[in-house]
Amino acid sequence: MSKYGMIVDLQKCIGCNACTIACKVEHNTPNDIHYTQVLEYEYGEFPNAGRTFLPALCSHCENPPCVPVCPTRASYTRDDGIVLIDHDRCIGCGACILACPYDQRSRVEDERTVFHDGETVFENNANAAPPKGVAVKCDFCYHRIDQGGVPACVETCPTDARIFGEWDGGAKPLRKMAAQYNAKGLLPEKGTEPNVLYID
């Protein structure tokens, strides 16, 4: 089975946070939890200063350090490479949160979501909010992928900065694109072999 991944073109990211909002609506997450967000960095000094943006999300690693530390096996990897959390098995111990070198896992402390003040059109269609006390993270919108779609963040990006697909299959194999543009994962020294790569 071919595995899924994502390439993020940092030259195309404009820091609009459309991906962050799309993800929050898609997953109905608590107010203080983001499965993806755009980090902003400033560099240089006036008049040669500038900003750069880094869309951050779970890297769905080939060697995910979050999986083996889970005492209940709630953290696991699907055959297609997507790393998930089974909320029915998660006891909220936080071992996976500490193990993630990318700081891309959170624990639900507050069940109130974006739509907590009453039902909206979005709330009627949103996925169930994660239960209090469990670990959460980006799941590549696997429910969309299983229906032939793409993650909400990819679909909503106005500059096509996020490219999602199969590493070795599909119309545009990611492996070929990664080689062509020298895409790299974050923190290579950790040996996690991330499936989210970045074009500088």
Before 47, cis peptide (omega within 30)? yes
| Tokens 């699907």 found at | 78
* Total of domains in the chain: 1
Give 10-13 contacts, CB < 8 A, sequence gap 24+. Answer: 10/52, 10/53, 10/54, 10/161, 10/198, 10/199, 10/200, 11/199, 11/200, 12/159, 12/160, 12/161, 13/38, 13/53, 13/54, 13/55, 13/159, 13/161
The 10 Å Cβ neighbour count of residue 44 is 9
Domain harbouring 156, CATH code = 3.30.70.20
User: pLDDT tens for residues 79-115?
Assistant: 999 999 999 999 999 999 999 999 999 999 876 655 5
Domain assignment of residue 113, given as a range = 4-199
Q: 94-103, 106-115, 122-131, 188-197: which range is least confident on average?
A: 122-131
Does the reported pTM lie above 0.85? yes
CB within 8 Å of 77: residues ≥ 6 apart: 64, 67, 83, 84
